[in-house]
Structure 1
């Protein structure tokens, strides 16, 4: 079984120059994604949250992660907008606590957040409050998060490349090709 950090580097380099921008970012990627993979392998569901500009990406992820052509077990994933479409109207920590209570009841505490978007969005607040969240934060430095820039002219392409790497990682973990704990 191969080490996750070495496998990640080889996967990035196998994409050629198109993904060379990510080599230096892999040090933030590896522990964050390893944590997410361990949670998936432990049976937790993914609650996906994006900012408004990345709603298209949430739809892309939820429609492709479990597509029929995948020859792997289905991964439980749901977009927060589908569970509670009024999220943007919540105000204050007490309202977020009520939403967290609803999610705890729904998933029996067996879930984690995957947030993709700007760090100063209200939608980021719920994921940032949880230590187990997978965070792809833009325009803000946040501990244990992959940091990106929303104003990067190639941001959409980079997000798709990262998703492709995430999906490839998921396959390799599910089929025992890599160990994310090493």
Structure 2
């Protein structure tokens, strides 16, 4: 991650005002994680969005917004539900799903998971080292930690989306290096 991306992130947090001010103290966690995932996107990866049940609304919000802009190219974010809407209850099911996705996305894919670290949805997302994880109540390497007990959680998820989208646009248009 370049210093310019870290500086850009700080500027975006400050320009967005109070709704992202909480992220300023955590930008050193946020920036490297997001920079690495944006690099995958530039390499042609598709991101498959998965959420736990409590964050299903955020999956809908994210997918409805990420390609709403008409000023930039479309980016490959899709819902797992649209590709494979069956339960994965065993490791073999997860392996078969990953085989299907490897065939479907030959340029590569990663999961974008928002939720707790329990259940098979998390296990699916965690089956790929490249996945982007926004985890609740658990800190894992290469994930962004949030508290499910935070009264401002929904607000923070939307603000994270906004900073993510601004970073995405800046990277796509070479306004900042990652």
Task: Report the TM-score when normalising by structure 2.
Answer: 0.94
Q: How many residues align?
A: 177
Aligned structure 1 segments of 4 or more residues deviating by more than 6 angstroms:
none
Structure 2 partner of 1:142: 140
1:48 aligns with 2:49: yes
1:129, CA displacement in angstroms?
2.2
Distance 1:151 1:121 in 2: 19
Structure 2 partner of 1:70: 70
Distance 1:46 1:119 in 2: 19
1:113, CA displacement in angstroms?
1.0
1:70, CA displacement in angstroms?
2.8
Q: Show CA shifts across 1:67-112 (max 9, x none).
A: 1x431111011101111111xx322211110111111111125111
Q: Where do 1:75-154 residues align within 5 Å?
A: 75-86=75-86, 89-108=87-106, 110-154=108-152
- Structure 2's unaligned 5+ residue stretches are none
CA contact (8 A) 2:115 2:136 kept: yes
Q: Where do 1:147-162 residues align within 5 Å?
A: 147-162=145-160
Q: What secondary structure, in the 3-state scheme, does the structure 2 residue paired with 1:137 have? A: strand
Q: What secondary structure, in the 3-state scheme, does the structure 2 residue paired with 1:115 have? A: strand
Distance 1:90 1:126 in 2: 8
Task: Report the TM-score when normalising by structure 1.
Answer: 0.92
Distance 1:119 1:177 in 2: 35
Q: Where do 1:4-43 residues align within 5 Å?
A: 4-43=5-44
1:17, CA displacement in angstroms?
2.6
1:125, CA displacement in angstroms?
0.9
CA contact (8 A) 2:44 2:107 kept: no
Distance 1:165 1:70 in 2: 18
Distance 1:24 1:120 in 2: 27
